[in-house]
Amino acid sequence: MPMRWRDAMDRALYGPDGFFVAGAGPAAHFRTSVHASPVFTAALARLLIEVDAALGHPARLDVVDVGAGRGELLAALLQAVGAAGEPPSSGRGPGEPAGPSPSTPPLAARVRPIAVEKAPRPDRLPRRIGWVGEIPTGIVGLLVATEWLDNVPLDVAVRTAGGWRYLLVDPTTGMESLGPPVDSADHDWLHRWWPAPPAEADGTGPEPVTGARAEIGTSRDHAWAQAVRHVDRGLALAVDYGHLTAERPLGGSLTGYRDGRQVPPVPDGSCDVTAHVAIDSVAAAGQRVARCAYTLVRQREALRALGTGGTRPPLGLATRDPAGYVRALAAASTAAELTDPAGFGGHWWLRQPVGVGPAPFVARWRA
Ligand SMILES: C[S@@+](CC[C@H](N)C(=O)[O-])C[C@H]1O[C@@H](n2cnc3c(N)ncnc32)[C@H](O)[C@@H]1O
């Protein structure tokens, strides 16, 4: 029975036998930056240290991972923070927050990791990591969502001569059919965020292209705004693939993944169903809640600003410290994967500060 894409996706991914709920977990089917390399976690650990400093080293520093998969990021982050220790107290610029007082417990002792996931808690997760189904309120610290928003179910529309209409999908076959006209909220979103490209028609002037598809971002805007609303003070960070208004894909980006392969997006629970995120619209929705400027940069730039260069170690190291050289080379090659503009490096990093000045979180290159 044909239904709107948003309902079909919701059931296929998060229903009782849903792909993300009942299956082996995202890592069994595709790679994200989290799975790709500890270099990614190390960069997030550095960001967490910046958040801690901006908040004045609170007694409890929340790290909330929304759409946590099987908890891989939090488990790795805990390790990285334990290994990284406290931020250096020297070398801060004027106006930057002071270092922790000597009596402040170390970051590793103050951090409170919470995974927000629809899937059940994995057996072997460190006990220290909380596991909940809804985003907790009153977060003071870092809320992070890596490749979450692209899996928030959304509707798909098609442009007809009479305006935008929903596309319906048969969940068993993936066959699409034309549905009713979009409602007024979705119409307004499409008008603002996914303008139909004009086409010359019969010499009468620019007319919108008929047959163009659009993925309606209202559900993702709402999801992100809700997430930001749960942060009292700190930083909300979304990392995802997406596009801006000027470059929306004409045919949309809806697709499927299974066993490491891209497959047709049949919403029958057997594969991931995902679509790129209209990230500028999501950013605007978060800003309306936080009332604080956001920054939006590519992962490549964000990671470099956090000290992940991807440059090869000097050859001289190979003779001085062969094992260190091999380690540095491996780190450089995974950093290169994370910053590759045609891959993970092209992902967007949306940083939404809440209740703190934006300055500490503005991505900037480090010499
Ligand atoms: C593509 S996976 C990303 C996993 C992990 N963050 C990573 O980057 O490897 C998306 C995850 O988000 C979870 N998810 C989606 N919507 C959610 C929601 N509203 N609440 C909790 N988890 C959600 C899914 O169950 C799935 O595990």
- What is the distance in A from the centroid of ligand 1 to the CA of 200? 42
Ligand 1 pocket mutation, candidates 13, 20, 73, criterion most atoms within 8 A of CB: 20
pLDDT of residue 335: 84
pLDDT of residue 363: 58
| pLDDT score of 94 more than 60 | no
- Describe the crossing of helices 72-84 and 38-54 by its angle, rounded to 10 degrees: 70
What does the alpha-carbon distance between residue 175 and residue 190 come to, in Å, rounded to a whole number? 23
Tokens of 332: 């450089």
| pLDDT score of 311 more than 70 | yes
The C-alpha angle 248, 118, 69, rounded to 5 degrees, equals 70
Taking only the tens place, the pLDDT of each residue in 194-253 is 987 666 555 555 566 678 899 999 999 999 999 999 999 999 999 999 999 999 998 999
CA dihedral of 179, 184, 188, 189, whole degrees rounded to 10: -60
| pLDDT score of 89 more than 50 | no
Q: Is the CB of 69 under 6 A from ligand 1?
A: yes
Taking only the tens place, the pLDDT of each residue in 143-159 is 999 999 999 999 999 99
Ligand 1 pocket mutation, candidates 34, 148, 224, 299, criterion most atoms within 8 A of CB: 148
- What is the distance in A from the centroid of ligand 1 to the CA of 336? 25
The one-letter amino acid at 265 = P
With cut-offs at 50, 70 and 90, classify the pLDDT of residue 329. Answer: confident
Q: Across the strands, what pairs with 160?
A: 163
Nearest atom, ligand 1, residue 21 CA: 25
With cut-offs at 50, 70 and 90, classify the pLDDT of residue 365. Answer: very low
Instruction: Please give the span between the terminal C-alpha atoms of the chain, in angstroms, as a whole number.
Output: 58
pLDDT of residue 85: 40
Name the residue at shortest CA distance from atom 4 of ligand 1.
69
CA distance readout (Å), 230 to 5, 62, 140, 202: 28, 12, 9, 52
- What is the distance in A from the centroid of ligand 1 to the CA of 241? 14
| pLDDT score of 361 more than 80 | no
With cut-offs at 50, 70 and 90, classify the pLDDT of residue 271. Answer: very high
What does the alpha-carbon distance between residue 137 and residue 142 come to, in Å, rounded to a whole number? 13
Q: Is the CB of 87 under 6 A from ligand 1?
A: no
- What is the distance in A from the centroid of ligand 1 to the CA of 146? 8
| pLDDT score of 288 more than 60 | yes
Say if pTM beats, i.e. exceeds, 0.85.
yes
Ligand 1 pocket mutation, candidates 14, 118, 146, 258, criterion most atoms within 8 A of CB: 118
Nearest atom, ligand 1, residue 25 CA: 27
- List domains and CATH numbers for the chain: 1-16+155-215+248-261 (no CATH), 31-152+217-241+276-361 (3.40.50.12710)
The one-letter amino acid at 204 = T
Name the residue at shortest CA distance from atom 14 of ligand 1.
67
Where do runs of H (alpha helix) occur along the chain? Answer: 5-14, 19-22, 33-36, 38-54, 72-84, 107-110, 184-193, 218-229, 279-290, 299-305, 316-320, 322-339
